[in-house]
Structure 1
C-alpha cells in the first residue's frame, strides 16, 4: 500500500502527477487565455501538443510559465533588472524571505531570474484564499506552490504551522529545493516592509529538539529578497484597506477582490522593476549569537536583520522620491527625478485618488514614500 505524504493537503504536484493534472485543465478557458497571451502567433494546437507532452513541474515552468512572464514584462513593464544573484551558489538551496508587493509576480519574476542564473527555482508559499477556484489550485500546484491555510482557529493554526514548517525543512534539507516565503502574511499595503515574527517562529518550529533557533536558520541559508516596482500596479486597489486602517475600521474584502488584484498585478503597468537578493545571513547570524544575550532579544535582532537587509536592498525609483517630496511639501529629492517623471506620477495620483480626501491623499503618497524614509533612517543609523 502506497504511503501518503504528511504534506498531502499542502504540497505541489509530484512530477508523476503533472501530465494528468494538465489533461484535466487543458480545455479550461483561463488556460487558453493565458496561452493565447503567451503565444499570440500560434494556434491552440501548438501549445496544447507541447503541454500534453509535459511530465515535470520544471518543464511546465520553463516551457509555459517562463515565456508567459517574459510576455508580461514586455507588455506591462519597462524592463527588469537584478542584483546579487551572482553571489549565490548554484548547488545550494536557499530560504528566500522576501518583501511582498504582488500576489503572483513576486515569485514568478524571482523564479525567472533564478532560472536565468542557473540556480534552483523555489517552492513558494501561497495563501489558500488565492486558490479557491479549482483551476487556480491546479495551476498553483503545477508551479510548485505549497498552500498556507488562512483564518484558522488557534489549535488548527498551530497544527497547520507545524506542518508548513516541516514542509519547508523537508524541501530545503532533504530535497535541496529552495523555498520562497513572504516576510509577512499578505502583501505590504503601506510601503513599510516589516517582517512578522510569527512567520519566523513558524519556520523555526521544525528545528531539532534543543537546537538553538539561530543555528537552525543558519542551516536553512536565509537570503533576504527586495522586490521593487516603479509603479505598483495594484496601488489603487490597496486604497480601501489603507483608508479603513487609518480610520481604525475593520476591512472586509469583496468576494472576488483577491482575483481582481491578481489580474491587475499581472497586466497593470509597472514600468521598471528591480529584484535584489542579499547575501546569505549566516555570518551576521553568528554576530547576533555572540553579541546579543537572551533568546527574546536574539529573535528581535534576527527579525531586525531581515528587515534591514530588505529595506537596504530596495531600489528607490523616482516615483518613491516624488511621493516623498509631495508628502512633505519639499523638494528634498528633486535631483532624483525629472519633470516628466513627476508629471506622470501626478497624473496617476490625481486620476485615481480623491484629492478632497486628505486621508486618501496621505495614504497613497505614503505607500510610495515610506521606502525612502525607511532607507534614510537605516543609513543614518549606520
Structure 2
C-alpha cells in the first residue's frame, strides 16, 4: 500500500530570481509514495540539504517533467525493500546520492559519468527501473535526479543508497550526497591528483571546499583557492588551501601565474560559469588538465573557441563539454571504503 508523505513539490519553474522567495514556486503537498518493487528501496528521510542545482530546477534550467519533488542530497533510514534488493535491510542508515549504476556498458568501461541508466532516468523524472515514484490524487509527481529528498519518504533504487555507520549524524551525512562526492571525486577520481601536484580550485562553495579537502589529503602543493567571497576563502584556508585569491580584485589567472609561473598541473572549475571554465584552461600549464564539475543549464555548451584553445595548447579538458559533474565514483561499492562507509562484510 502506498506510503503517505509530505513533500516539497515544484509545480512548474519560474525563470526569474524569485525562486524560493516566499515559498515560490514550491509548495508542501501530501503525496503518495509507491511501494518498492524489484531493486527499489523506501527510505524515511531524516535530513536533507539544499544545493544550487535545486535553484536551477526551480528556474527551469534543466530538461525535466513537472511537477516534481525536489532535493538530491539526503540521508535517512531504510524502511522497506524490494524483492531484488541484495545489500540493504530495513533499519539501515543510508546516504542518497547521484551515483552511477556500475553495471551498464559505460560504467563497465570506466565512464561512470556517462552512465546510460542514470541520464535517461534523470531526464524522464523516473527511477532507473522506470517507476514514477510519487503521485498526488492519482496524477504522477516526478523524481529529481534519482533521489528526491525534500520529502518525508522517498523511493530510490538500491544503487543510489550508500550504507553508512549508524553513529554518523544525519545532518552531516546528507552533505555527502552531492557536494562531497562531486568535489572530492573530481580531485581524487577524475584527475587522480598526486603528491606534489599543483592545484587551483575556482569556486569554493560546497563542492569546491570538498575539492580543497581532497587536494590536501592527496598532498597537493600548492593548493590555490579562487573565489569572490572572503568568508569562503577563509574556509578554504581552514580546509587546506595554501593560497587564496579574491577574483574580484583582478584577473585570477594572472594571480595564479604569479604564484606558479608555469601554470598549475590541475585546475578545477566548480561554478558552472563558462567564463570561469576559460580561466581554468588558462591557468594550467602546457600539459595541465582542467576539469569542470558543476551543472549548467540545459542547452548551454562550452564555446568552440574555448575547446580549440584547450587543444592547441596541449591542455586537456577532463569531462563533457556540457560541464556535467565528472566525479567518477564507479558505483556505490566504491564509497563503502570511506571512513563513514560500511561494506556488506562488516554487517553483524
**TM-score, shorter chain, exceeding 0.5:** no
Structure with higher strand content: 2
Higher gyration radius (CA): 1
Greater relative contact order (Cα < 8 A, sep 6+): 1
TM-score by length of 1: 0.27
TM-score by length of 2: 0.29
